[in-house]
Structure formats: structure tokens, C-alpha cells
Amino acid sequence: MMKKKTILIAGAVVLLAAGGILFRVIKGMEKPAEYETRPTVSAEAPQTGDIVLYTDLTGTVEPQSRAAVMPKIGGEVLEVYFQAGDQVQAGQALLKIDSDALTSLKLQMESAKVAADEAAREYGRIEPLYAGGYASQQSMEQARDGAESARLAYEAAKHQYDLQLEYTSVTAPISGTVETRNVEPHDHVSTGTEVCVISAGDQVQVEFGVTEKTRSNLAAGDTVAISKNGTDYSGRVTEIGSMVNPSTGLYDVKAEVDRADGLTSGTRVKLTAVLDQARGVMTVPVDAVNYAAGQPFVYCYEDGVAKKTMILGGIYDSQRMEVKSGLQPDSQVITSWSNELVDGANVLLEEAQQEAGE
């Protein structure tokens, strides 16, 4: 009995050993799993497009048309017909002046009138005498010339008086809003006294200063964005200074505003203008650009290899950079990042990996 049990145990051991050998043989016949070690990258060809950079500026609102009103005759102000802030029309009376010069001119006109009437009567007396042969031709011509000369002198005196009389009423040269009133009744004014300033309120412009770089990208007719207290306006450049303003060190620029509701003269506004621009140029994503010793370069995909390619970059915004040279239109610029991405590294294009997965 004991002998039979021993034989069974030995048989089991033999079977286990044979099974182990068979498992190792089968295991050795299986193909080992393969793992992709190349970094996967995305690539795209350069694109043609525009890059426009903007700069924020500050400007001052001012009337497009403004007139400083000064009287054309000196004297005492009798009446003032306006207040600061009033809307006035061109030709509207603003104030009345009493001038001593006008009194003198009136006396001169009246004296000239008397002389003209007397000369005309004398000519009227001589003319029939000359016709009847009782006066000489010389007397008749002297009387005629005297009458004509006196008439002209009177007309000149009357014209001067009428002109100065007109000047005693100071009128608005343009329609608009009175910005300032600098005169009161009984003040004495001269021809150099600024009695008020009128601005054409429906036509305003914004004056601002720009650097030489910004000026080189501005042209008459360009549009600038204007903002004031959350309200946006559109302006059009009308004037660009050719000399630097010594007080600011900038070039003066003016832009007219089409719709000026809410913009008052003298207020400050924010403007946005073109700082620099490149149109119709080759561009690549900014994130694809690397730098070595300050020089830009990209990696290009070529037959499964990442190739370091130096480029000459231009301006750039938050998305894309201008490429002036170094790339071809069909270059495949690697746009994804990997710490294994170096010059000459074997890489797997994302599209190829997707096709392999399918």
C-alpha cells in the first residue's frame, strides 16, 4: 500500500514538471509587446495674413471751428446780450458799444454834407450863366469840379461813419456755443479785447500726440477708436504734424469725430490707434517660436525628423508672428511642445499616429 502511494506522488511531480516546461516553451514563442518612444507632434504650414498692433493714447476734445470775438471799434460797452453756454447764430448781436470816435466821424460827415451841398448850389448857379455867355468856361469847370470833389468827400465820410456805426454792434461770426464771456456792461474795450469765444459745438475734433513710430503708420483718413465714460466714438484722422511739439516731444495729430454727443470741449478721452502693422505676410503661431541667443527659430517636420530652422521674425501679437525669411510656404512647422523636441530628434506626426491607431 505504501509503495502504491509513493508511485502516485512521483507521477504527479513528473506531470507538474512537464507542464512547467511546456508553459515556458509556449511563452517563449509569444512576440514581445512594442511601445512607441518617439514624441508625437502637430505641424502646420505657414499662413498668409495680417498682424496689426494697437496703442492706447490720450487726447483732448476741442471744437473743430472756434472764433475769438473782438470788437472792431473801441469804446464803452452799453449792453451785453449773451451768457456763457448760450447757443448763438452767425450774425446774432452780442453787445453794443458807444464810441467817442463815432461822434467825431458823425461831425465830419455832417461837415462834408454841408460843403457838398454848397458846392452843388454854386455849380447850379454858374451853369446857366455859362450857357448864357455871362460866365467863363473856366469858372464853370471850377464849379463843376468843386461840386464833384465835395460830393466824393461826403460819400467817403458817410461810408466811414456807417462802417463804424455798424461796428458798434458786435455780432457772432459763426454759429455755435459761447464758451467764455469776458465782458460786462460799462466795461471799456479796445479792438484787441477778446469779449468771448464761440465754438461750433456740432463739429468737434480730438487732438493727441504720437511717437515717430506711430506717426509712420498713420495717414489722413485713417480711423481711430475713441472712448469716453464707457461710450465709444469713431474718429477720422484729418491732420498729422510734420514737426515735434517741443512741449510734449510728440507729433500732434487731429481727428474729427462724426458723432459727438456727450463730448464737451476740453475733456480728456482715450484713443486707440495703429502702432505697427504688417499685411499680407507669412505668419506662424507665436507658441511655435523658440529662441537661441536671442535669435528666433522653429522646428520643422521633415520625413519623421524635427529640424531646427532659424528664421527672421517681424512683428507679432498674442497669436502669430511675422516671418520675413527662413521658411517656405510648404514648410511643416511643428506647433506642439515636447521636452524631447531637439534638432534631429525622431518624431511622430499626430496625423500618422491617428492613422496607425485606426
Condensed to tens digits (0 to 9), the pLDDT of residues 329-349 reads 999 999 998 888 999 999 999
Say how many domains are in the chain. 4
Give a yes or no: residue 338 inside a domain: yes
Same domain? For 286 and 349 the reply is yes
Is residue 315 pLDDT above 90, yes or no? yes
Average pLDDT for residues 3-15, to the nearest whole number? 53
Give the per-residue pLDDT at 351: 73
Q: Is 129 left (phi over 0), alpha (psi -120 to 50) or beta?
A: alpha
Grid cell 455849380 in the structure block, residue: 123
Domain that holds residue 352: 41-49+281-357
Grid cell 464803452 in the structure block, residue: 76
Same domain? For 227 and 147 the reply is no
Examine the fold and report which residue of 279, 298, 315 is the final residue of a domain before the chain moves on.
279
Residue 167 burial (CB count, 10 A): 19
Same domain? For 88 and 187 the reply is yes
Give the per-residue pLDDT at 356: 47
Is residue 79 pLDDT above 50, yes or no? yes
Condensed to tens digits (0 to 9), the pLDDT of residues 182-205 reads: 999 999 999 989 999 998 866 789
The three-state secondary structure class of 285 is strand
Give the per-residue pLDDT at 357: 47
Give the per-residue pLDDT at 344: 93
Condensed to tens digits (0 to 9), the pLDDT of residues 133-143 reads: 888 889 889 98
Give the per-residue pLDDT at 134: 86
Average pLDDT for residues 268-280, to the nearest whole number? 92
Cell numbers representing residue 255 in the block: 481727428
Output the domain CATH number for residue 272.
2.40.30.170
With residue 104 as reference, give the H or E element that holds it.
helix 100-131
Condensed to tens digits (0 to 9), the pLDDT of residues 148-158 reads: 999 999 999 99
Q: Please, are residues 208 and 268 in contact by the beta-carbon 8 Å criterion?
A: no
Average pLDDT for residues 269-274, to the nearest whole number? 92
Give the per-residue pLDDT at 233: 92
Same domain? For 207 and 315 the reply is no
End-to-end CA distance of the chain: 65
Distance in angstroms (rounded) separating the CA atoms of residues 8 and 6: 6
Output the domain CATH number for residue 298.
2.40.420.20
Give the per-residue pLDDT at 310: 96
- Average pLDDT in the chain: 87
Q: How many CA atoms lie within 13 A of 267 on its CB side?
A: 14
Same domain? For 93 and 172 the reply is yes
pTM for the whole thing? Answer: 0.56
Same domain? For 274 and 287 the reply is no
Condensed to tens digits (0 to 9), the pLDDT of residues 34-66 reads: 567 888 999 999 999 999 999 999 999 988 888
Is residue 1 pLDDT above 60, yes or no? no
Give the per-residue pLDDT at 133: 85
The three-state secondary structure class of 317 is coil
Is residue 355 pLDDT above 90, yes or no? no
Same domain? For 268 and 295 the reply is no
Quote the DSSP letter at residue 258. S
Q: Which of the two residues, 339 and 270, has the higher pLDDT score?
A: 270
